Amino acid sequence: MKKKDINEIEKQMKLANEGLPEKERALFSDARPSSVAPLNKYLEGFLNWARSRSMWMLAFGTGCGATELRPLMTSRFDMSRFGIAPRPTPRQAAIFVVGGYASIKTIKRIVRSYEEMQGPKYVIALGSCTINGGMYYDSYYTINRLDYYIPVDIYIAGCMPRPEALIAGFNRLKEKIRAGECEGMNKYTDNFDWYKKNQKQIIKDWNMPDYNW
Amino acid sequence: MEQILNRIKDKIEIKISTKKRDDLYFFTVEKEQIEFILSYLKEQENFTHLAFMQAVDYLEDGKFQLTYMLYNYKIHINLGVNVLIDRKKAEMFSMHKLWPHIWQYQREIHELFGINFPGSPRVNESFVLEGWEEIPPMRRDFDTLEYSEKTFYQRPGRSTNDPKEYMKEKMYKNYADTPTIRREK
């Protein structure tokens, strides 16, 4: 292939960042996310073992389900026993816990925080609202299915799930990470256009970059 | 409180006046008199605190009802001042000169009910709905289920039960009839 053609294809592949004003577009990256292939079998197994033992959770409470995270953190249920620790910013976290219903205003922040997290990253969706809408299935401003907007690794059903159920969910996630089944980040990058289409369908005032580094 | 109501009745005409509790009263006034009555209640009768402001959609009558909930710290009485405005020409005077914090309620009502408040500060900023393009969602002619089915992706397999039939099936199978609450006559 000629060099000129490659340049043209690269130009097409770049993100438009249409939500930003013209003068700010140069400040943000327009490169698309790329998927990361797993390393060789033994090294990846060791890395997965390490990842499953240090689950750092983004302490970002979206919706009423976040109330169940407080007893989980404190002495009665004490999630530090399982190697789970809350982190204050998306850059430091590996697990995103979406607690319950997500309105469109929140899903904008959820998408932004999820993209800012560094890989490998995992998503736990708790509560019925993230599965099929729950009691808010006919609401005008809450989404019904979270997996159309970001990839979800574990669902925890209930309204609300008790901290015991959350611990069970975290343990299930730990097993999945160990077995190398949590490829949510690669799923997101492979189906990037589909996710963006769904997100832009509901977020009408898109005023952020198309992909937030 | 009766004295206060009588003093108000001397000044303006009150349409409906109800007593819900010993410390909770409501009355309805005309739209043109609302500015006078609210400033009178605040300055003369010590109803200094505006607890909240709320709108109700009466679709059948073609009216919006706005409620200004006031509180008196001296005699400890809640007073709701209702005003009915036309649904087609939904517009109301802004009260931000009496209570500066009312702009937030007016902004919320402007967004969720589509009632205009000319002169209210920052009234056109979005409150909870960002980038909303339909009619205001709290109006009762807005069909939320239809909008939800159109916009968000439904997960198939959702089912509902009739509570009475379901309880009969699950809990009271051996009874001839499901128990109901007996009220003494």
Q: How many CB atoms lie within 10 A of CB A21?
A: 8
* Predicted pLDDT at B173: 76
Contact A122, A94 (CB under 8 A): yes
In chain B, domain spans: 2-155
Q: What is the per-residue pLDDT for B180?
A: 62
Cα atoms found within 13 Å of the Cα of residue A135, Cβ hemisphere only: 6
pLDDT of residue B117: 93
Would the pLDDT of A12 be above 70? Answer: no
- Per the listing, tokens 């970059």 go with A209
Q: What is the pLDDT of residue B184?
A: 54
What whole-number percentage of chain A has pLDDT above 90? Answer: 41
Separation CA B153–CA B150 (nearest Å):
8
pLDDT of residue B139: 92
Strands, DSSP E only, in B3-153?
17-21, 24-29, 49-58, 63-72, 77-86
Give the rounded distance of the alpha carbon of A147 from its chain centre. 10
Cα distances (angstroms) measured from residue B172 to each of A146, B11, B176: 38, 62, 8
- pLDDT band at A8, cuts 50/70/90? low
A140 and B142 within 8 Å at the Cβ level: the answer is yes
Q: Please judge whether B148 and A137 are an interchain contact, meaning their C-beta atoms are less than 8 angstroms apart.
A: yes
| CATH classification (class only), B2-155 | alpha beta
A194 inside 8 A of chain B by CB: no
Q: Which residues contact B89 (CB under 8 A, 6 or more apart)?
A: none
Domains of chain A: 55-202 (3.40.50.12280)
User: What pLDDT is stored for residue A30 in this prediction?
Assistant: 83
Residue A122 pLDDT > 60, yes or no? yes
* For residue A84, pLDDT beyond 80: yes
- The predicted pLDDT at position B53 comes to 93
Query: Please, which pLDDT band fits residue A173 given cuts at 50, 70 and 90?
Result: very high
Q: Give the whole-angstrom CA distance, residue A150 versus residue A117.
A: 13
pTM equals 0.84
Interface check A19 vs B, CB under 8 A = no
Q: pLDDT confidence of A209, banded at 50, 70, 90?
A: confident
Contacts of B43 (CB under 8 A, 6+ apart): none
Residues linked to residue A197 through DSSP beta bridges, in sequence order: none
Segments in chain B below pLDDT 50: none
Q: Which residues of A touch B155 (CB under 8 A)?
A: 131-133, 144-145
Segment A54-77 mean pLDDT? 87
Nearest CA distance, B16 vs chain A (angstrom): 35
Is the pLDDT at A11 greater than 70, yes or no?
no
- Give residue A6's pLDDT band: very low, low, confident or very high (50, 70, 90): low
Q: Which residue out of A105, A107, A108, A141 would a mutagenesis test of the B interface target, given it has the greatest number of B Cβ atoms within 10 Å?
A: A141
* pLDDT score at A83: 86
Question: What is the length of chain B?
Answer: 185
A 25-64 near B (Cβ less than 8 A):
none
Is the pLDDT at A134 greater than 90, yes or no?
A: no
A205: nearest CB among B130, B144, B145: B130
Question: Average of pLDDT values for A14-32?
Answer: 83
Is the CB of A138 less than 8 angstroms away from the CB of B145?
Answer: yes
* Burial bucket for residue B73 (CB in 10 Å: 0-12, 13-18, 19+): exposed
The bridge status of strand B63-72 relative to strand B49-58 is antiparallel
